[in-house]
Amino acid sequence: MNPNNLKLKEIMKFNPEEISDDDMVLFVNEFMSSNLIMLCELDYEIEVINEENQYLSFDDFSEFNIIRLEDDEGNEFIPLFTDDDEIFDLEVPGYGIVISMSDLANLLFDNPENNENLEGLILNPFTDYAASIPYSSLLGMFNLIECDDPDCNHEDHN
């Protein structure tokens, strides 16, 4: 399945230093409603069927490992891709899984032990118009809040 993110890709081509507030709102809205390709390694062998619209479902975060990039300081970034064209020329391990950004935000939020070094997401890395989203901004977009209060029972707090 090749997600349709043409509008998001067009907005990403804007010069970040010259982007207007209205265009930033458009970017955030498009990003929040997008389905992007995330690279994963599975903890078990599967038979891959090369057909469109094949879906895998996971019962548990531990069934797969999200492939991450690391900078020189040890900060981790999850690479995401708007479509197959952006990863076609890259030699990357694992599988490309299409995931909605709300599902990704909730998946990361529900598994904080896996995100100690997570700095954020990077869209279309290694391109001229890559965009980064800080992890805290991702959670904020979906009203998910990291909370250090051990007695907190708020459903949107972690």
Local confidence band at 51 (pLDDT 50, 70, 90 cut-offs): very low
Residue in 99, 95, 79, 128 with CA at minimum distance from that of residue 34: 99
Torsion-angle region of residue 17: left (phi > 0), alpha (psi -120 to 50) or beta?
alpha
Closest Cα partner for 129 from 54, 37, 27?
Answer: 27
Q: What is the pLDDT of residue 132?
A: 92
> 65: part of which helix (H) or strand (E)?
strand 64-66
Q: What number of CA atoms fall less than 13 Å from residue 132's CA on the CB side?
A: 12
Q: How confident is the model at residue 36 (pLDDT cuts 50, 70, 90)?
A: very high
Given this model, what pLDDT does residue 45 score?
A: 59
The pLDDT tens digits for 59-110 are 555 567 899 999 899 899 999 999 888 877 677 777 788 899 999 998 888 8
Angle in degrees, 0-180, between the axes of helices 101-109 and 21-32, rounded to the nearest 10: 80
Q: Give the mean model confidence (pLDDT) for residues 19-30.
A: 91
Average pLDDT taken over every residue of the chain: 81
